[in-house]
Chains A and B, each alone.
Chain A
Amino acid sequence: MNNSTIYKRKAPLAVFLIPAFAFMAVFLYYPFVRNIVNSVSKISGLGTASEGINTPWYKNFVQLFTDEKLRTAFGNTMLLMLFTIVFQVGIALVLALLVDNIRRGAGFFRTVYFFPIVISATALGLLFNLIFLYNGGMLNQLLLDLGWVKEAIDWKSEKYYMFTMLLPVMWQYVGFYFVILVTGLNNISPELYEAAAIDGASGLQRVTRITLPLLHNTLCICLTLAITGALKVFDLPWVMMGQGMPMDRSWLLGTYMYQQTFNVGDVDYGSAIAIVLVVLGVAISQLANAIFKEKEY
């Protein structure tokens, strides 16, 4: 921090700070607090006024525990989170370690892997709807042509819906963690590897003894991102699995909250679900950080 004379006079501060913070106060901080109030109020329609506090005020929070669809949504979201951590970060880690070992083409792979992230999840949802189409979808045509299956598979049936919902979400964000991990790998000094090579370390030993320990903090960041990211998933499942198909089995907290607010019109209950999302995000990422503490080197 500098103490330059230019910045001694504080008057311009107001001009610099007020517009941005006013925006955030009105459209982020106030609504966030308001949402907490909403969750204990009675609101029967989007845009209508609250009709007072619920009786008892914690009615919605009791409902959270008895609502079976919410339980499904919660379970699915947790599963999604687990898969995100294991597969997204896992695949990204493997790919990043491999890319670290090649001399040419690293830039190409980075560009290509990252590409799905800039595409809207809506477009990807439609794309995957066509891939997973029952009658003549890409996957079914492939499997039938290869003769691996006798008849087309209904990818959105009760048997396969989880796979169909999770695969595109997993696939889209691998590149994101890949780029973060590659950046982390590039920060490891090559001298460490040279020293290890002189000591006769094998390739696998180098990975387990040097790379992974030094990548610890980067992996922690990935973990936090995977946790908060999994809670925010909305677009892809909404486009592919609208209305929790099949048979209310595929709800996620995000899609269910939207459904309650919009299509059911239970705005205060939707607000309560939103609070669950925030609390889960903070609690789980804190827990994860406590377990895998960031280390100083």
Chain B
Amino acid sequence: MVKKRKLSVSQGLIYLVLSAWALSTIYPFFWVIVNSFKEKRYIRSDTFALPLGEMFTLDNYRTAFERVDILGAYRNSLIISITVTAVVVLLAGFAAYAMARYRFRGRRALQGLIIASMMFPVFSTIIPVFRMLYLWGLVRFESVFYSLLCVSLPQIAGNLSFAIVVLTGYIRSIPVEMEEAAYLEGYNVFQIFFRIVWPLGRPSFATVAIFTFLWSYNDLFTQMFFLRNKRTYSITRLLAEISSQAGVNYGLMVAAVVLVVVPVLLVYILLQKNIIKGMTVGALKG
């Protein structure tokens, strides 16, 4: 009896500590959402109050949509991230399939190159990439199409190595008998890839896709280099701009933060199992 009592006290303590950290990760987001519905002046005087009665307003969002092109920025972000994700998943899938199934000379060397490239910080490649794209005539800040393209290309390259590592591991774990059966049916390797490997590997392809998408959506560094014109801003780039220019309009700031965070929040809640798995598998990428 005594022992049981002691156990539940320690359990209670454990839950207390764990909940305290949980509070630290939930509360800031709750707080920013609550404050986005308050009139500006209350944010800095009654920050902990709920936006009820006369405090409640939608003005912050109205200002956000009027002052800056939020919808355009969402569109640009989606174009970049979807392009990057689609290309990465396809090319990495191909490469991973080859790395997992074929034996060929130089395979080990390629493996080494893939691992090595996960160590390159984007800082060390971005300047030559910029210069190269500039020489090719692709750096045109006033053009939405070219600016988005310039962001997408290095982002694709930056995500490939991680994606290949994750997918190679997964494809290797698929029993090869399925592919052999398909081969006897007369499938060629490309049909095998699209009709056998792809469907079987769907969970890991999904993991890679979600991860690539989020990484691309959130990556400020590359976007700072290529998105200079307001019309080309992605949502993350726009947010960085607002932070340096909003001055004392804290209402606008909170609303902007919420507008950036909410889509990610929704994606996360829906797909969190895949995301957490992918992030830890891709841990090496850092």
CA distance A27 to B244 in the complex (A): 30
Chain B positions within 8 Å of A281 at CB level: 119, 121
Count of chain A residues with a beta carbon within 8 Å of a chain B beta carbon = 104
Q: Once the chains bind, are A130 and B279 in contact (CB under 8 Å)?
A: no
Stretch of B50-58, B63-71, B91-99, B198-206 on the interface side = B91-99
Q: Does A7 contact B (CB under 8 A)?
A: yes
Q: Once the chains bind, are B176 and A4 in contact (CB under 8 Å)?
A: yes
Q: Which of A138, A261, A273 is in CB contact (< 8 Å) with B47?
A: A138
Interface residues of B (CB under 8 A from A): 11, 14-15, 17-18, 21-22, 24-26, 28-29, 31-32, 35, 43-45, 47-48, 91-92, 94-95, 97-98, 101-104, 110, 113-114, 117, 119-132, 134, 139, 153-154, 156-158, 160-161, 164, 176, 179-180, 183, 188-190, 192, 214, 217-218, 220-221, 224, 236, 239-240, 242-244, 250, 253-254, 256-257, 260-261, 264-265, 267-268, 272, 275-276, 279-280, 283-284, 286
Interface SS of B by simple majority: helix
Quick one: closest B residue to A27, CB to CB?
A: B157
CA distance A287 to B283 in the complex (A): 20
Chain A positions within 8 Å of B261 at CB level: 119, 123
What 4 A-B pairs come out closest when comparing CB atoms?
A: A136-B44, A27-B157, A120-B218, A31-B128
CB distance from A173 to the nearest CB of B (A): 10
Q: Which of B130, B154, B158 is in CB contact (< 8 Å) with A46?
A: B130
Q: With contacts A126-B257, A136-B47 known, what are 10 further pairs, Cβ within 8 A?
A: A19-B91, A20-B95, A26-B157, A28-B157, A28-B158, A32-B117, A38-B128, A111-B276, A239-B243, A277-B123
CA distance A179 to B123 in the complex (A): 27
Q: Once the chains bind, are B121 and A179 in contact (CB under 8 Å)?
A: no
Q: Once the chains bind, are A10 and B102 in contact (CB under 8 Å)?
A: yes
Q: Once the chains bind, are A35 and B127 in contact (CB under 8 Å)?
A: yes
Contact with B along A20-53 (1 / 0, CB 8 A): 1101101111111011001000000011110000
CB distance from A107 to the nearest CB of B (A): 9
CB distance from A36 to the nearest CB of B (A): 9
Stretch of A54-62, A64-72, A209-217, A227-235 on the interface side = A227-235
Quick one: closest A residue to B217, CB to CB?
A: A120
**With contact pairs A16-B97, A32-B125, A229-B286 given, residues A121 and B220 touching in the complex (Cβ less than 8 Å):** yes
CA distance A73 to B41 in the complex (A): 37
CB distance from B111 to the nearest CB of A (A): 12
CA distance A16 to B126 in the complex (A): 26
CB distance from B104 to the nearest CB of A (A): 6
- In A108-133, which residues have CB < 8 Å from any B CB? 108-123, 125-131, 133
Chain A positions within 8 Å of B44 at CB level: 133, 135-137, 141
Quick one: closest B residue to A230, CB to CB?
A: B286
Q: Once the chains bind, are B120 and A4 in contact (CB under 8 Å)?
A: no
Q: Does A247 contact B (CB under 8 A)?
A: no
**With contact pairs A16-B97, A29-B113, A228-B286 given, residues A131 and B28 touching in the complex (Cβ less than 8 Å):** yes
CB distance from A91 to the nearest CB of B (A): 8
